[in-house]
């Protein structure tokens, strides 16, 4: 058994880069040394581990390189969705310019806003929230678990921590650039006894980095392509703090292709649809929102969708009101606005998605008793998690006859996009609440889909 393993490892070596060579050599030594242990199945590099290496050999032969990434911990779910679009765009550039790249989907977890107690919210795979085959139809993606299985184990060969330039913009002039630089902030990775870098790695404690360096970068995502193609031969490259780079082309065709591919997971859509039918008298047939599963075939003329007979509302509270922002309304102001829209569009139902605390919710219910909300049972919450519940809220808002959201909330922005994809008249979508004493209440920008 040990011999067979050795043979596999040796075949692999032919394809490996120098850094990885060392690692595999170590692996080989451990394997040989741990043969007896492996037989019992609990050695450090046990049988399971080497099965991964074997699967990896085929991958290595196909010359696949893996792009991984992570985002600044405090960022929320909806900004992370936006960062995915930037990384997908970079992956497309890499594919155009240099061989087989796969984007590894960063597991979800430990998000600041996901505060439901007693449920396990870490190492969540993308399939829990999105249709992975739909994502894959836009750019090759795999889940992290798949990466572990096919890349040879929990190792990331090169981690680049993205940061801005210590000196800021020089001469006040914007210029796109990227340079290897000393780390500005305290590095969130530390070396272990074996010389591997340990870090958060999406909650996968066993994952190790072989090399961590900082890159100062200023510019759009694809500015990193030459670095990944020419400055490193690592097979797995992780970009940490990926939000540092900008969109290649915000709201361009590539942006929309990726955005359209981010189809919510079917089980969440189904729950949202059942809720619409039961409480809001809303079905796709009646609302003109019947669509197939394949997003690449979907192209709807704006204004075609009518939506269900209800007003959809996203009322962002919590940190949005703690700062006493002048563009966020009081509850009273919000209710007044909702009533006026309901009257104007002759809607007698209102669906409210909100992160308001219990106290505010009580107040809201007092002022707006007819309000409908999606309130998961504990079992549903455990099943869908905070991220899934947020998606169900967004899905229901996306199907309303008229929608109004909260100023500069990425949660609201994602609903705008969803409605744009479904083919709503922009007048029914790009609306936001105004602050009670806001004088110049600019409404959200309409971003048209480029097909
Ligand atoms: N279920 C639900 N959750 C919400 C709602 N509004 C906010 N949240 C929660 O609060 C989080 C914060 O909003 P996000 O938009 O994801 O975070 P962000 O990227 O910082 O975006 P904004 O702060 O809204 O600009 C969401 O991810 C949800 O977990 C809501 O209407 N319904
Ligand atoms: C990449 O390599 C080129 C050529 O050797 C070098 O000029 C450049 O500084 C390198 N860039 C980074 C980010 O390391
Ligand atoms: C780590 O990566 C950087 C950037 O690619 C490189 O300059 C450096 O030599 C690497 N260090 C080791 C020990 O491989
Ligand atoms: C549901 O909507 C239909 C029109 O689409 C209407 O005829 C029917 O009365 C509505 N039902 C309820 C319970 O409001």
Distance in Å, CA 3 to ligand 1 centroid: 53
CB-count exposure of residue 235 (10 Å: 0-12, 13-18, 19+) = buried
- Give the Å distance between the CA of 360 and the centre of ligand 4: 31
pLDDT value, residue 15: 37
Residue with more model confidence, 24 or 441: 441
> Using one digit for the tens of pLDDT, what is the confidence trace for 260-269?
999 999 999 9
Give the model's pLDDT for residue 52: 38
State yes or no: pLDDT of 143 exceeds 90: yes
244 and 273 share one domain: no
User: How far is the CA of 245 from the CAs of 87, 131, 221, 409, in angstroms?
Assistant: 9, 25, 5, 20
162 pLDDT exceeds 80? yes
Residues 287 and 402 both lie in one domain: yes
- The whole-chain average pLDDT of the chain stands at 87
Answer with the residue of higher pLDDT: 33 or 193: 193
For the packed helices 2-13 and 18-33, what is the interaxial angle rounded to 10 degrees?
170
Same domain? 235 vs 336: no
Is there a single domain that holds both residue 193 and residue 293? Answer: no
Would residue 185 count as lying in a domain? Answer: yes
Residue listed under structure tokens 């210029």? 175
Report which protein residue has its CA nearest ligand 1's atom 10. 113
Percent of the chain with pLDDT over 70: 86
pLDDT digits (tens, 9 = 90+) for 116-125: 777 788 999 9
With respect to residue 54, please indicate whether it lies within any of the assigned structural domains.
Answer: no
| Ligand minimally distant from the alpha carbon of residue 385 | 1
Residue of the CA atom closest to atom 11 of ligand 3: 211
Q: How far apart are CA 437 and CA 433, in angstroms?
A: 11
Whether residue 309 is found in the same domain as residue 210? no
Is the pLDDT score of 19 beyond 80? no
Q: Give per-residue pLDDT as tens, 163-176.
A: 999 988 777 778 89
Q: Is residue 231 located within the same domain as residue 342?
A: no
CATH number of the domain within which 69 lies? 3.40.50.11340
Q: Are residues 104 and 236 in the same domain?
A: yes
Regarding whether 269 and 247 lie in a shared domain, the answer is no
The yes-or-no verdict on residue 334 having pLDDT over 70 is yes
* pLDDT tops 90 at residue 108: yes
The pTM for the full model equals 0.86
Task: Provide the pLDDT for residue 62.
Answer: 63
Report, as an integer, the average pLDDT of 296-323. Answer: 95
Is residue 228 located within the same domain as residue 305?
Answer: no
Task: State the residue for tokens 């997908």.
Answer: 88
Q: What is the dihedral of CA 68, 70, 76, 81, to 10 degrees?
A: -20
Rounded CA separation 403/393 (Å): 12
Average pLDDT over residues 19-27: 39
Distance 323 CA to ligand 1 centre (A): 16
Residue 56 maps to a domain: no
Catalytic annotation present for 175: no
Structural domain contains residue 49: no
Half-sphere exposure of 349 (CA within 13 A, CB side): 18
Rounded mean pLDDT, 143-148: 97
Last-in-domain residue among 221, 253, 285 = 253
* Minimal-distance CA residue to ligand 1 atom 20: 76
pLDDT tens profile 187-204: 999 999 999 999 999 999
Q: How confident is the model at residue 6 (pLDDT cuts 50, 70, 90)?
A: very low
Give the CATH number of the domain where residue 368 resides.
Answer: 3.40.50.11350
Examine the pLDDT at 205 and tell me if it is beyond 90: yes
Is it the case that residue 296 has pLDDT exceeding 60?
yes
Q: Is residue 439 part of a domain?
A: no
In-domain check, residue 450: no
**Among the bound ligands, the one closest to the CA of 306:** 4
108 inside domain: yes
**Residue finishing a domain among 253, 273, 299:** 253
Q: Pick the residue with more confidence: 277 or 25? A: 277
Q: Does 397 fall in a domain? A: yes
Q: Among the three residues 226, 253, 280, which one is the final residue of a domain in this structure? A: 253
Quick one: 317 and 419 in the same domain?
yes
Is the beta carbon of 121 within 6 A of some atom in ligand 1? Answer: no
Q: Are residues 161 and 305 in the same domain?
A: no
188 and 67 co-located in one domain: yes
DSSP state of 64: -
Range of the domain at 278: 265-428
pLDDT band at 1 (very low <50, low <70, confident <90, very high): very low
- Distance, in Å, from the CA atom of 40 to the CA atom of 287, rounded to the nearest integer, reads 60
Total domains in the chain come to 2
The CA distance from 372 to 369, in Å, is: 9
Task: Report residue 57's pLDDT band, with 50, 70 and 90 as the boundaries.
Answer: very low
Give the ligand 4 atom nearest the CA of 286: 5
End-to-end CA distance of the chain: 54
């Amino acid at each position: 058994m040990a011999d067979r393993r050795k043979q596999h490892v040796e075949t692999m070596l032919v394809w490996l880069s120098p850094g990885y060579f060392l690692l595999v050599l170590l692996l080989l030594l451990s394997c040989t040394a741990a043969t007896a242990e492996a037989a019992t199945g609990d050695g450090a590099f046990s049988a399971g581990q080497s099965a991964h290496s074997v699967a990896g050999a085929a991958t290595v032969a196909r010359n696949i390189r893996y792009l991984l990434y992570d985002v600044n911990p405090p960022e929320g779910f909806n900004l992370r969705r936006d960062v995915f679009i930037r990384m997908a765009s970079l992956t497309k550039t890499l594919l155009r310019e240099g061989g087989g790249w796969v984007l590894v989907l960063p597991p979800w977890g430990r998000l600041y806003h996901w505060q439901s107690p007693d449920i396990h919210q870490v190492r969540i795979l993308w399939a829990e929230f999105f249709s992975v085959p739909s994502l894959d139809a836009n750019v090759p993606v795999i889940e992290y678990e798949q990466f572990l299985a096919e890349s040879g184990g929990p190792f990331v060969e090169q981690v680049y921590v993205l940061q801005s330039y210590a000196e800021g913009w020089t001469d006040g002039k914007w210029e796109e650039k990227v340079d290897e630089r000393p780390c500005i902030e305290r590095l969130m990775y530390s070396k272990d006894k074996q010389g591997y870098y340990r870090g958060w790695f999406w909650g996968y404690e066993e994952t190790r980095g072989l090399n961590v360096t900082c890159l100062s970068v200023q510019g759009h995502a694809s500015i990193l392509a030459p670095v990944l193609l020419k400055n490193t031969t690592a097979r797995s490259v992780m970009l940490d703090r990926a939000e540092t780079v900008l969109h290649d082309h915000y709201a361009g065709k590539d942006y929309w292709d990726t955005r359209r591919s981010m189809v919510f997971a079917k089980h969440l859509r189904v729950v949202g649809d059942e809720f619409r039918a039961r409480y809001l008298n809303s079905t796709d047939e009646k609302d003109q929102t019947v669509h197939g599963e394949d997003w690449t075939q979907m192209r709807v003329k704006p204004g075609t969708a009518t939506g269900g007979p209800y007003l959809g509302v996203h009322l962002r509270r919590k940190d949005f009101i703690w700062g006493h922002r002048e563009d966020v309304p009081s509850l009273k102001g919000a209710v007044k606005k909702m009533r006026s829209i309901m009257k104007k569009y002759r809607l007698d139902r209102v669906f409210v998605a909100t992160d308001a605390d219990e106290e505010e919710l009580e107040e809201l219910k007092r002022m707006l008793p007819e309000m409908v909300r999606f309130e998961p049972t504990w079992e549903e919450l455990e099943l869908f998690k905070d991220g899934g519940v947020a998606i169900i809220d967004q899905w229901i808002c996306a199907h309303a006859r008229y929608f109004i959201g909260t100023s500069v909330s990425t949660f609201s922005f994602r609903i705008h996009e969803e409605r744009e994809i479904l083919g709503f008249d922009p007048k029914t979508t790009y609306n936001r609440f105004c602050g009670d004493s806001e004088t110049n209440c600019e409404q959200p920008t309409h971003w048209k889909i480029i097909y």
